[in-house]
Chains A and B, each alone.
Chain A
Amino acid sequence: MTLVGLVVTFLGFVIAFVSLGVSGSTGVRMAMVLAGIVVSLIGIMGVMTPAYQKTWIFKR
């Protein structure tokens, strides 16, 4: 799951970056960048953190 979380987090950056080439509209770019930020946050907090919590010392 750690790898999946890393991929999802990086995907958020890719979504934001690709917005530069997809459209010249500020609104479209803003929507894509915000979507990218949300995807990255899901990757960090929704996938990676729960995956790592299982290994932490108070869970053993």
Chain B
Amino acid sequence: MTKKIVIVLAVLACLTGAGRAAAQTPITDADLKAAVKPTDRTNGDPDGSLTGTANDIAIADAKAGLTVADVLNQIGANRIGVNFAWTLLCGFLIMFMQAGFAVVEAGLCRAKNANHTMMMNFMVYGVGMLAYFLIGFPLQMGGAGAVANLGGSPVLNSEFTFHLFGKDIGLFGNTGYLLMHHGTYDVAVMVIFLFQMVFMDTTTTIVTGTCCERWKYAAFMVSTMFLGAFTYPIFANWAWGGGWLAMLGSNFGLGHGYADFAGSGVVHSVGGITALACALILGPRIGKYTRDGKPNAIPGHDIMWVLCGCFILAFGWFGFNPGSTLAMSGNGGLRAASVAVNTMLAGMTGSFGGILYMWIRYGKPDASMSGNAFLAGLVAITAPSGFVNPIASAIIGLIAGVLVCVSCEFIERVLKIDDPVGAISVHGTNGLWGVIAVGLFADGKSNYGGSWNGVNGNVTGLFYGDAGQLVAQLMGVATLLGFVFVLSFAFNLFVDWFVGQRVSAKSELAGLDIPEMGALAYPDFVLKTESEMVA
């Protein structure tokens, strides 16, 4: 009863706009008369009905007792607390994806390179995070503005822009250095940093898969540092940090601007396209192609870890996509349920698409491609997950499952680029497909506070009447291919000149565990020679 009175008082205060005077109105003893008292719990509270009452509302002034202001503050704190908890927990889930990537990539490489591949995946977390902490985060989020779902902290407010075509074009953020700069020692900023950091680390770990079995460890560290400090944060700023891609809607009338709910483009395409740039520079592994360019299959050493890793990744994806609401309370937070189901469905149809394609084409349901198709469905739904309905999700995933198989064949046989884990196809190709899918399938039913990227209304794709949204998405694709690729390639070319990207042929033939890491992953195993592997 008391709780009802308190709530009624709070609502009345809000509706009448009574302001400070009403907000300070003390709640009387009569209001609290029916409240549960601490003594009522002397016999415990087995059904939970005595726990969580008016007694638990934080009081600002003990002398004044419980006031309407206290109740209103508690309501606000509860909402933001729920959103903090949700976003942090989802961030922790995403962090665990590092383990999934590690075992998928290590399982798909040969046993003689397992320690090296695992160590790349292990240190990508630390190297990437260091770069992001020092440089990347301010560049990405320094001008992002207040995130209402996380308390609306206004301190991330400095975006470097230049004036072109009559508009301000946002290029990068410029505050938040070391999480101390200009008031960014702030709880909301910490949540944003943690959540964005694990996204960035996902990008960096994509590259290690494509480059495994021939990448010099020192070159990997320098390359990862650049990706975490510059390449990823710059594109992420343009898409999520208030940069020019996000503003395509408000500045140029293209739908709601570039919309990438959880990062098919920002996370996966940036990783996949950087992997493509590095793979070009590195070249294929010894024995991958014959002298006339025919590809040889080089099987991974542990398919069980590969498929187990896919499940770990799929589990982490429930942090990736639903967590990108940044809320469970208010501004469309409950839409997280729809996002989670869309994610499940696309993963399911992706695996079906891949397994059926391989079965029909080669007569067997290939295990590693089934895993890749599962991941491809998840990658493709990452951008649209917040904007599409379940049927569209299933279609997007199914197309992704087939597309990843076709892309792997094209990259291996036509481009003759060696990608041991298929990361370019899984993350690059299907990341781009996911970005385009938003512009096609977004149904206009999502509602994240009435607007997206500063444009009123909901994101709507071509099939639901907004061709401008598709143009905004294609602009993102053009930027990924024409800018991100060039930036990644140019930097990695410098690394190749000054550090050298590729290990020696002798080290590669021996396996990188001893030459690069000094220890075998499996010291008790008898490893096959190179000629036995190729035969």
Residues on A facing B (Cβ under 8 Å)? 2, 6, 9-17, 19-21, 24, 26-27, 29-30, 33-34, 36-37, 39-41, 43-45, 48-49, 52-53, 55-59
Contact = CB atoms under 8 A, between A and B. Distances in A.
A44 B416 contact: no
A23 to B, nearest CB: 10
B485 A44 contact: yes
B21 interface: no
Interface of B: 164-165, 248, 252-254, 276, 280-281, 283-284, 286, 288-291, 293, 415-417, 467-468, 470-471, 474-475, 477-479, 481-483, 485-486, 489-490, 493, 505
B281 A52 contact: yes
B289 A13 contact: no
A21 B280 contact: no
Contacts of A57: 283-284, 286, 505
Most chain A CB atoms below 10 A, which of B248, B276, B416: B416
Contact of A12 (B284, B289, B478, B505): B478
A59 B291 CA distance: 6
Contacts of B467: 26-27, 30
Contacts of B471: 26, 29-30, 33
A6 B479 contact: no
B165 A9 contact: no
A25 B252 CA distance: 10
Given A10-B486, A37-B482, A44-B485, 16 more contacts: A9-B485, A13-B479, A13-B481, A20-B165, A27-B467, A29-B471, A30-B474, A36-B478, A37-B478, A40-B478, A40-B482, A49-B280, A52-B280, A55-B283, A56-B289, A58-B284
A45 B415 contact: yes
A25 to B, nearest CB: 10
B492 to A, nearest CB: 12
Contacts of A36: 478, 482
List 7 tightest A-B contacts by C-beta distance, closest first: A13-B482, A16-B478, A21-B165, A40-B481, A56-B283, A58-B289, A40-B482
B341 to A, nearest CB: 32
A12 B254 contact: no
Most chain B CB atoms below 10 A, which of A12, A13, A45: A13
A9 to B, nearest CB: 5
A29 B276 CA distance: 28
A27 to B, nearest CB: 8
B468 A26 contact: yes
B288 A40 contact: no
Contact of A9 (B290, B468, B482): B482
A38 to B, nearest CB: 10
Nearest to A44: B485
B474 A37 contact: yes
Contact of B485 (A2, A26, A40): A40
Contacts of B479: 13, 16-17
A16 B482 contact: yes
Most chain B CB atoms below 10 A, which of A2, A9, A57: A57
A48 B252 CA distance: 33
A57 B480 CA distance: 29
Contacts of A53: 416
A21 B468 CA distance: 15
B257 to A, nearest CB: 12
Contacts of B417: 49
17 contacts: A13-B482, A26-B467, A26-B468, A27-B467, A29-B471, A33-B471, A36-B478, A37-B478, A37-B481, A40-B481, A41-B481, A43-B482, A52-B280, A52-B283, A56-B284, A58-B289, A58-B290
B468 to A, nearest CB: 5
Contacts of A27: 467
Contacts of B280: 48-49, 52
A11 B482 CA distance: 7
A37 B482 CA distance: 8
A55 B471 CA distance: 38
Contact of B481 (A9, A24, A58, A59): A9
B490 A6 contact: yes
Contacts of B254: 26, 29
Contacts of B474: 16, 30, 33-34, 37
Given A9-B486, A29-B254, A44 B290 contact: no
Nearest to A36: B478
A15 to B, nearest CB: 8
B478 A10 contact: no
Contacts of A9: 481-482, 485-486
Contacts of A41: 481
Contacts of B483: 10, 13
Contacts of A21: 164-165
Given A21-B164, A37-B477, A56-B284, A6 B482 contact: no
Most chain B CB atoms below 10 A, which of A44, A45, A58: A58
Contacts of A17: 475, 478-479
Nearest to B468: A26
Nearest to B251: A20
